[in-house]
Amino acid sequence: MKSKTSFPPQEGAAPPSRCPDNSAFKQQKLPAWKPQLTFASVLSSFFLTGAFCLIMGVCLVLSANSVREIQIDYSDKCSDCSKLRENSSNWNKECHCSVNFTLKEDILGDVFMYYGLQNFYQNHRRYVMSRSDAQLLGRNVNIQRSRCAPFSTYRNGTPMAPCGAIANSMFNDTIDLFYNRNSSVIQVPLLKTGNSWWTDKNVKFRNPESYNLSSAFAGTARPPYWQKPVYLLDEEDERNNGYVNDDFIIWMRVSAFATFKNLYRRVRRIRHFAEGLPAGNYTFRISYNFPVARFKGRKHVILSTVVWSGGSNPFLGIAYLVSGTAAILTGFVITGIHLKLRKKKTYFQRQ
pLDDT tens-digit profile of 136-175?
999 988 888 888 989 999 999 899 999 999 999 999 999 9
Over pLDDT 70: what percentage of the chain?
Answer: 94
Res. 257: pLDDT tops 90: yes
pLDDT score, position 36: 80
Better-scored residue on pLDDT, 40 or 11 = 40
Res. 123: pLDDT tops 80: yes
Per-residue confidence band for 40, with pLDDT thresholds at 50, 70 and 90: confident
Mean pLDDT to the nearest integer, 174-189: 93
Q: Please state which of the ranges 5-9, 111-115, 224-228, 251-255 shows the lowest mean pLDDT.
A: 5-9
Mean pLDDT to the nearest integer, 271-291: 93
Res. 8: pLDDT tops 90: no
Per-residue confidence band for 197, with pLDDT thresholds at 50, 70 and 90: very high
Q: What is the chain's mean pLDDT, rounded?
A: 89
Q: Which residues, listed in sequence order, are joined to residue 300 by a DSSP beta bridge?
A: 73, 116
Q: Taking a C-beta distance cutoff of 8 angstroms, is the pair 267, 110 a contact?
A: yes
Res. 308: pLDDT tops 90: no
Distance from C-alpha of 46 to C-alpha of 334, rounded to nearest angstrom: 10
Phi and psi torsions of 317, nearest 5°: -65, -40
Q: What is the model's pTM?
A: 0.81
Distance from C-alpha of 233 to C-alpha of 220, rounded to nearest angstrom: 15
